[in-house]
Amino acid sequence: MNINKEKWQVIINPISGLKKSKQAWTTIKASLEQEIDFNESYTEYAHHAVAMVSDALKNNFKSILCIGGDGTLHDVVNGVMNQNIYEPKEIKIAFYSCGTGNDWQRTNVVNTSIESFISRFKAQQYLSHDVGKIACFKNGQDYIHYFINMAGVGFDAFVVQNMSEKTTGRFSYLIGMIQSLFKYNHILLNIESEERSLACKSYTSIIALNKFAGGGMKLAPDAVNNDGLFDVVIVKDLSIPKVLLNTNKMYSGKYTMLEKVESFQTKKLKVTVLDNPENTYTQAEGELIGTGPFEFECLHEAVRILI
């Protein structure tokens, strides 16, 4: 596909991957600046990329190249989904992943080198990717949010809620998980979909489009991100010793075979917290979103992402 004369908005998160993103963009820019027109901008605060996408579309930039971590892609997707200038599928999204977790690329990219990304960018082949929609409450108001990788209710959101901002690096989620484990109380949930209805005490509930989260944990080993369905994994009331003994299985994906783990697929899911709902959050891509009740909907092939 000819990319000459296309206008690209480039969004760089300068602190992603321990500040490796600036260096990555320097290399990518040197290879592409003779072939595309681009406007480059650096995020300056949390979720700045959402506003950047809105501004870019208002200025007729329908192609977005983002360089950063999973949170940067998360914000770009929310910017695309929250605007009403173009249909989301009309907008191209290219993503060079250089964060600390890089979970989206673990499912979708075999060769993660900059050289491979440049070759893929020039080839301009796109995946029609599902998007998750969350309806919940934030500050007492109805709230809609979108995700591209994985959301969760329960322990994973509790970990995000309690993680120190100083905890960085590939194993930050694992460290936060261990630190949070002895503070966490299982929650009583009512989970409803067309395929399944259950009430249970839950350690965590995963709603996934892709396979990985938490810096390499294979939490949804069978997920396919364009089949129009969430892979839902309900981990029931596992004891602390069993969690610790089976942590390695969260990286291999084999934890889904444990007796107290239930998996199914669905397009829509409602999760109601039956105890302490005002302090129980959902998270997506490592960001706290809001409190319940939660309604999740899989929007089939809602965006296009370079693959």
**How far from the centroid of its chain's Cα atoms is residue 278's Cα?**
23
* Domains assigned to the chain: 7-124 (3.40.50.10330), 132-300 (2.60.200.40)
Lookup: tokens for 70: 């999973």
Does residue 233 contact residue 208 with C-beta atoms inside 8 Å? yes
Does residue 296 contact residue 134 with C-beta atoms inside 8 Å? yes
Each of the 307 residues of the chain gets a pLDDT tens digit; together they read 456 568 999 999 998 877 789 999 999 999 998 888 999 999 999 999 999 999 999 999 999 999 999 999 999 999 999 999 999 999 999 999 998 889 999 999 888 999 999 999 999 999 999 999 999 999 989 999 999 999 999 988 988 887 755 445 556 666 777 778 888 888 999 999 998 999 999 999 999 999 999 889 999 999 999 999 999 999 999 888 998 899 899 999 999 999 999 999 999 999 999 987 888 999 999 899 999 999 999 999 999 999 8
Lookup: tokens for 190: 């009512």
Residues 6+ apart with CB under 8 A from 33: none
